Amino acid sequence: MISGVLAAPLSTAAQQALDVELEAPEAVRGLLERHVRLLRRSDATMPEAAPDRSAMARRARREVGDLLATEGYFTPTVRIDRSEAGRWVIKVDPGPRTTIAEVTVDFDGEITRAAEQGGDEYLARLRASWSLPPGAPFRQADWDAAKQQMLDSVSARRYAAARMVESRAEVDPERATARLRVRLDSGPAFYLGALEVSGLQELPADLVQRYSRLRVGEPYDREALLAFQTGLQNTPHFASVIVDVERDPALAAAVPVRVQVSEARPKRLAFGAGVSSNTGLRAEASYRDVNLLRRGWELSTGLRLEQRRQSAYADVFLPPSGNHRDSVGALVDRSDLEGLLVHSQAVGVARNTVRGNIETQLALRLQHEQLRPEGGESRSSNTLTANWTWVQRAVDDLLDPTRGYVLEFQMGGGAAVAIADRDFVRLYGRAVRYQPVGERDVLILRGEAGATLADSREGIPQDFLFRAGGAQSVRGYAYQSLGVREGDATVGGRYLGTLSAEYVHWFRPQWGAALFVDAGDAADTREDLDFRTGYGVGARWRSPAGPLAVDLAWGHDERRLRLHFGVAIAF
């Protein structure tokens, strides 16, 4: 037995201070201390009148007995020693704990007819999933949870109106055993009908339908409805969304899917500021209208001013059609990096497709570019390009991944037709692996490779060539400083290769430290690739936007120390 004292002195004319001591096994001690009122009171006092003291003792015994019963102790012995004035000792022997002797799970409703048509394995799996098997201790909380879990398993798919029609626990106190019996009525199988949307005011009536991947006539699936609800909630159009069906068996053949929405404010003007080691200080302004021309089109436009780069853009995203979403946009960009001044203007169209954790994009772009390399010859080019991108993000958290991988592949090029100047093909691939180590740490492995197939790099836009260096590339070297020397500038080459290994130790939930080594280069021929190495240490902070990184890296070939900082996710 383990004993303890809960006492608080208080003296009045009609009461005296009372010390209450509990003697009980450790297995039940915490439960009793938390819930028996006599043990919880900070002002425990004993009435002077004997009937009141007896009532207090009876209440304490009843509370102890009721609490122990919830843990499967149905034959406890509870004694209260009141032999010493002003001091009570509650002595508890819980007795044997009741265990499960037998479990019977039965089903009624259409689910049984499905079993007659070959669904016996489904019912067998349901019975096998029962979480309170024979031999397990009987606890009221476990009993309630097991019933709810079984009901949820049946009602999650097809049988939306499933209900528990019988629930019985027969306890034999003498043998300390319990026999459990539950019976569920699945009701009819539910099939989805049409969408019934409410709450739309300014947005087009068919907007919700365009986001839906539910099909009329398919079986009810709670996860599919939740995914639809989450997808709508994640769009900028809606402030809140509720998707559900009415669990009326009379509607089971074609139950309407009720979508209740609240529209978000359609227009938003935002300002921001930041800094990175790649492009310096940054200020930006953006404007968004998610109901352009009252068609549910999303306009996103903005101006970004950085020390080494400035850009203005405007994109219009159309509502989705199935898995696809189309967009059209324009961009004006100016950059001055490593002695290369680039002015470019582009217009393009794109189609994005999302299937699970795989996203693809097919883009067509018309671009005019002017290059002014320091110490080199200025030139301009027109290009019409097509590019296909395939990305799979199989990670546990998109903002802060600690397990999984990211794969990316791009294939594109341009053709010397009409207003375009050159033929070329560009191939690019990237892989990132997040491998957890122990409970907190993570090992991050990254590699990328690219090749632009053409007779020379002349006339090919810099976006379709390669440079390396900087944060998220080869640390220890300036941003985009690894490439082809032209005059006093570094321009893009036709080949790229980088590798990186990073170990992050999170010594606190929000703070971590990193060790890393990077290597890579960009060149105009494969023979000229000369991998430059950088290595160092860094600090990590988990911000709402993802882990922020501050890295101090030594460029082995340049024999120079550089500071890099930015968001640590290579997405």
Task: Give 250's DSSP letter.
Answer: G
Tens digit of pLDDT for each residue in 376-428?
899 988 888 999 999 999 999 888 899 999 999 999 998 765 555 678 999 99
Average pLDDT along the chain: 90
b/e per residue 191-200 (b: at least 16 CB within 10 A)? bbbebebebb
What's the per-residue H, E or C state across 360-404? Answer: EEEEEEEEEEEEEECCCCCEEEEEEEEEEEEEEEEECCCCCCCCE
Question: CA-to-CA distance for 141 and 132, rounded, in angstroms?
Answer: 11
Tell me what pLDDT residue 170 has. Answer: 94
Is there a contact between 250 and 160 (Cβ–Cβ < 8 Å)? Answer: no
pLDDT reading at 64 higher than 50 = yes
Tell me what pLDDT residue 43 has. Answer: 44
Tens digit of pLDDT for each residue in 460-506?
999 999 999 999 999 999 999 999 999 999 999 999 999 999 999 99
Tell me what pLDDT residue 182 has. Answer: 95
pLDDT tier, 512 (very low <50, low <70, confident <90, very high otherwise): very high
Tens digit of pLDDT for each residue in 251-298?
999 999 999 999 999 999 999 888 888 998 999 999 999 999 999 999
pLDDT tier, 114 (very low <50, low <70, confident <90, very high otherwise): confident
Assigned superfamily of 99-185 = membrane protein fhac (3.10.20.310)
Tens digit of pLDDT for each residue in 515-571?
999 999 999 999 999 999 999 999 999 887 778 899 999 999 999 999 998 765 544
Domain covering 191-263 assigned CATH 3.10.20.310 in the classification: yes
Tell me what pLDDT residue 487 has. Answer: 92
Dihedral angle, C-alpha 136, 140, 141, 147, nearest 10 ° = 80
Is there a contact between 163 and 150 (Cβ–Cβ < 8 Å)? Answer: no
b/e per residue 446-483 (b: at least 16 CB within 10 A)? bbbbbbbebeebebbbbbbbbbbbbbbbbbbbbbbbbb
pLDDT tier, 118 (very low <50, low <70, confident <90, very high otherwise): low
Q: Give me the numbers of helices (H) and strands (E) for the chain, helices first please.
A: 8, 29
pLDDT tier, 20 (very low <50, low <70, confident <90, very high otherwise): confident
Please state the domain extents for the chain: 20-93, 99-185, 191-263, 308-567
Domain covering 20-93 assigned CATH 3.10.450.630 in the classification: no
Tell me what pLDDT residue 6 has. Answer: 39
Tell me what pLDDT residue 13 has. Answer: 38
CATH of 308-567, picked from 2.40.160.50, 3.40.50.11720, 2.115.10.20, 3.40.50.2300, is 2.40.160.50
Tell me what pLDDT residue 418 has. Answer: 53
Tell me what pLDDT residue 189 has. Answer: 94
Tens digit of pLDDT for each residue in 32-54?
988 888 887 644 555 556 667 78
Strands (E) located in 119-204: 163-172, 177-185, 192-198
Domains 20-93 and 99-185 share a fold: yes
Closest CA to 56 of 34, 72, 41, 75: 41
